[in-house]
């Protein structure tokens, strides 16, 4: 019996170590209900300090904001009712040749700040959506994907944002592309893509949709840039 317990404990420790080796990020801030669908099909609830793995589909519920820090220092903050997938992730601080970070915003909204991968291998980072792909240029940006679910989002016109992808850039730049065209947006600019067959278009600042987050989720204190805040006007913040 004793030998059996020793073997069981050893197996559990080995499994725990393996999970740690596979982790690509960690939940650092959370308010509400946050879950993950793992690549193997299992579903579990996440908490602060929970690990995020390659292949995970992360989901926030109503009134839930969640922040994830990746092992290269990059961060993403997710709005309520968002689904975000870690499609591919590979990082070795000593080997830039292994850099690879590709994600999918399936629904909802997010803000992201580039980590080391984005600073040294910007072409190895990308965010896909149903209407366009976002490439980064050393970036802090926001994205909101409306699919008949943005009726609660405030705008300067008083009307709900139209369906499609809305972007804003706080620093650096992003390149938004799809089969219909390509457009770069720099700090202080807003963009919009109506559909996969419509080109990305610039939006006047007064009409742009900015993704903002609660200070409790966004703030870094003295640790550096805020992942959820922005240098932009927040009059249309979410």
User: Could you tell me the CATH number of the domain that includes residue 69?
Assistant: 2.60.120.1440
229 part of a folded domain: no
235 part of a folded domain: no
Q: Which of 43, 35, 39 is nearest to 60 (CA)?
A: 35
Number of domains in the chain: 1
231 part of a folded domain: no
232 part of a folded domain: no
112 part of a folded domain: yes
- The structure tokens 């073997």 sit at 7
Position 220 scores a pLDDT of 59
Under the banding of pLDDT at 50, 70 and 90, the label for residue 221 is: very low
226 part of a folded domain: no
Q: What is the pTM of this model?
A: 0.84
**CA–CA dist 189, 170 (Å, integer):** 8
pLDDT, tens digit (0-9, with 9 covering 90-100), for 93-110? 999 999 999 999 999 999
**CA–CA dist 54, 59 (Å, integer):** 15
Average pLDDT, the chain: 85
Angle at 120 between CA 116 and CA 126, to 5 degrees: 80
126 part of a folded domain: yes
Position 229 scores a pLDDT of 52
Position 101 scores a pLDDT of 96
**Better-scored residue on pLDDT, 7 or 48:** 48
**CA–CA dist 27, 181 (Å, integer):** 35
Under the banding of pLDDT at 50, 70 and 90, the label for residue 33 is: very high
Is a pLDDT exceeding 90 seen at residue 134?
yes
225 part of a folded domain: no
Mean pLDDT of 112-134: 95
Q: What is the phi/psi pair of residue 86, to 5°? A: -90, 90
Position 227 scores a pLDDT of 53
Q: Which domain holds residue 119?
A: 2-218
Alpha helices of 103-205 — where are they, by DSSP H?
Answer: 116-120
Residue 50: how many other CB atoms lie within 10 Å: 18
Position 238 scores a pLDDT of 39
Q: Name the pairing type of β-strands 65-70 and 51-53.
A: unpaired
Is a pLDDT exceeding 60 seen at residue 15?
no
Close Cβ partners of 104 (under 8 Å, ≥ 6 residues apart): 84, 85, 87, 127, 128, 129
**CA–CA dist 67, 73 (Å, integer):** 12
């Amino acid at each position: 019996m004793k030998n059996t317990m020793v073997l069981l404990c050893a197996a559990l420790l080995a499994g725990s170590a393996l999970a740690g080796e596979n982790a690509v990020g960690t939940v650092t801030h959370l308010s509400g209900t946050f879950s993950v669908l793992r690549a193997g099909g299992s579903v579990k609830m996440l908490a602060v300090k929970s690990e995020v793995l390659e292949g995970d589909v992360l989901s926030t519920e109503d009134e839930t904001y969640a922040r994830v820090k990746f092992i290269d220092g990059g961060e993403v903050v997710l709005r309520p009712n968002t689904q975000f997938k870690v499609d591919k992730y590979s990082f070795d601080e000593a080997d830039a040749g292994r850099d690879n970070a590709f994600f999918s915003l399936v629904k909802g909204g997010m803000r992201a700040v580039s980590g080391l991968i984005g600073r040294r291998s910007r072409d190895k980072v990308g965010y896909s959506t149903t209407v366009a792909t976002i490439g980064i240029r050393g970036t802090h940006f926001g994205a909101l994907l409306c699919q008949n679910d943005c009726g609660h989002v405030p705008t300067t016109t008083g009307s709900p944002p139209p369906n499609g992808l809305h972007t804003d850039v706080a620093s650096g730049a992003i390149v938004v592309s799809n089969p219909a065209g390509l457009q770069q947006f720099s700090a202080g600019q807003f963009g919009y893509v109506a559909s996969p067959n419509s080109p990305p278009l610039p939006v006047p600042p007064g009409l742009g949709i900015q993704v903002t987050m609660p200070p409790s989720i966004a703030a870094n204190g003295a640790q550096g840039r805020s992942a959820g805040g922005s240098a932009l006007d927040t009059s249309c913040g979410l």
